[in-house]
Structure 1
Amino acid sequence: MLALLTSPEYAIFSMALVVMLGIGTIEAIGLGLGHLDVDADVDGNVGSDSLLGWLGLKTGLPVLIWLTAFLGCFTLIGFAIQQIATAVAGVPLHWSIAGGAGLIIGVISNAYVSSGLARLMPEYESTVIDTDDLIMRRATVLEGVSQRGHPARAKVVDQHGQAHYVMVEPHHDSDIIAQGESALLVRRAGPTFFIQPDSDTILRPL
């Protein structure tokens, strides 16, 4: 069996299986990579939305769960293709032919699998937020000192009680926010949020 899985005709599917199991293990031991904030700025045209929806990426599932489902589909379909080819022709297909067919059928199959998983796990759909939804929420600086040009890592909790870790700089050039202090997120530029200390949020304009 091991010789079969490591043969050139099956190797691409075996590698996909190993990656899938690795992602599953990371999730199982609680590292929480499936909840990383993925801030991908995609042009909001109809073509992009349709493609993402067709791939199953607009279901609200975390990206790593979607990827795990895709790898599972690709692996199972690839093994099935090679087994059928062996039964019919006596030998498996070349890995590139089987891999191409497995990729196409796997993408199509995963669109349905992702939709099914999203229905089974509605909490993912209800707690997905846009990054800009964190603005006007309070964050606590966890590491370092936040000053202009030198962002620090901070923790902010969204309306669903989920923690997000972001990089923050003061909104005003003269402000310095030390570790352990809280501040209000007032705007965002790319991956960096700008904050105003709680001590003078009322006193100074944004």
Structure 2
Amino acid sequence: MNLFTAPETWPFGVGFALIVGLALIEGLGMLIALSPSSVVDHWLPDFHADSALDQWLGWLHVGKVPALVLLLLFLTGYTVFGYSLQLVAQGLWGAYLPAWLAGTLAVPAGLATVRSLGALIAHIIPRDESSAVSDQTLLGRVGVISGGIARRGLAAQARVRDSLGRTHYLMVEPDLEADVFEEGTQVLIVRKVGAFYRCIANPHPGLM
């Protein structure tokens, strides 16, 4: 029986379909200047390393890498390992493992992929935030929209320097409903609401 049509491999077929679907959604979002990754990250809570759950999520780079990227990494590791596992089972025993068993055994592989490749991506993505810097110290700082278009309800990435000259990458939204800030716009960080910062147009661009 064909590997990709066998009923024992249906979890990995679903995983592959999700990979293609998420990639298409992200690609279409880029064409209309709307990042689904930013939308998903907008609704995620702000994590702190003060509980076992938060530490586990931190181990998986949640908050350091866009959530959809982490999901794609998991699905890729899960799917590739799952199909490979079924091929090995077919070669050794002449039959595929039950779908529930193979699907369960592939979960650690997906998590390992998130952990290993997520660390690489976290280093590539320009983030230099330090837990030693209070959120309040970034209020009143001037930044530049560096990724996406910031609208109310749709955060974009802004590059901000603290008083020590260190660069931070924040997710920001306009403080005023009518404002829209495109990439390259100078903004002033005025407050923090939940996991995101609010900003206004920089009233003194010459001081940047």
Fold in common (TM above 0.5): yes
Q: TM-score, normalization: structure 1? A: 0.62
Give the aligned partner of residue 52 of structure 1.
57
Give the aligned partner of residue 172 of structure 1.
none
Structure 2 stretches of 5 or more lacking a match?
Answer: 143-149, 161-168, 181-186, 204-208
User: Matched residues in 2 for 1:156 and 1:110: separation?
Assistant: 24
Deviation (angstroms), 1:117 = 2.8
Aligned residues: 177
> 1:119-138 counterparts in 2 under 5 A?
119=123, 121=124, 123-126=125-128, 135-136=139-140
Give the aligned partner of residue 86 of structure 1.
90
Give the aligned partner of residue 98 of structure 1.
102
User: Matched residues in 2 for 1:53 and 1:156: separation?
Assistant: 22
State whether residues 3 and 9 of structure 2, in contact with CA within 8 Å, keep that contact through their aligned partners in structure 1.
yes
One-letter code of the match for 1:65? V
Structure 1 stretches of 5 or more lacking a match?
Answer: 144-151, 170-176, 200-206
**1:73-114 CA deviation, whole Å, 9 max, x = no partner?**
000000011111111111100010000000122212331121
One-letter code of the match for 1:20? I
Q: 1:124 to 1:66 in 2, by over 3 A?
A: farther
One-letter code of the match for 2:27? A
Give the aligned partner of residue 174 of structure 1.
none
Q: 1:157 to 1:12 in 2, by over 3 A?
A: closer
Give the aligned partner of residue 35 of structure 1.
38
Kindly indicate whether structure 1 or structure 2 has the higher relative contact order, using CA contacts under 8 Å at least 6 residues apart.
2
Give the aligned partner of residue 5 of structure 2.
6
State whether residues 74 and 103 of structure 1, in contact with CA within 8 Å, keep that contact through their aligned partners in structure 2.
yes
> 1:184-195 counterparts in 2 under 5 A?
186-190=190-194
**1:99-139 CA deviation, whole Å, 9 max, x = no partner?**
000012221233112112333x2x343489x9x6785479x
State whether residues 189 and 197 of structure 2, in contact with CA within 8 Å, keep that contact through their aligned partners in structure 1.
yes
State whether residues 172 and 199 of structure 2, in contact with CA within 8 Å, keep that contact through their aligned partners in structure 1.
no
Give the aligned partner of residue 15 of structure 2.
16
User: Is the counterpart of residue 114 in structure 1 residue 122 in structure 2?
Assistant: no
User: Matched residues in 2 for 1:179 and 1:125: separation?
Assistant: 25
RMSD: 4.3
Q: 1:127 to 1:27 in 2, by over 3 A?
A: farther
Deviation (angstroms), 1:18 = 1.0
State whether residues 155 and 164 of structure 1, in contact with CA within 8 Å, keep that contact through their aligned partners in structure 2.
yes
Question: If you compute each CA radius of gyration, which structure gives the higher value, 1 or 2?
Answer: 1
State whether residues 139 and 190 of structure 2, in contact with CA within 8 Å, keep that contact through their aligned partners in structure 1.
yes
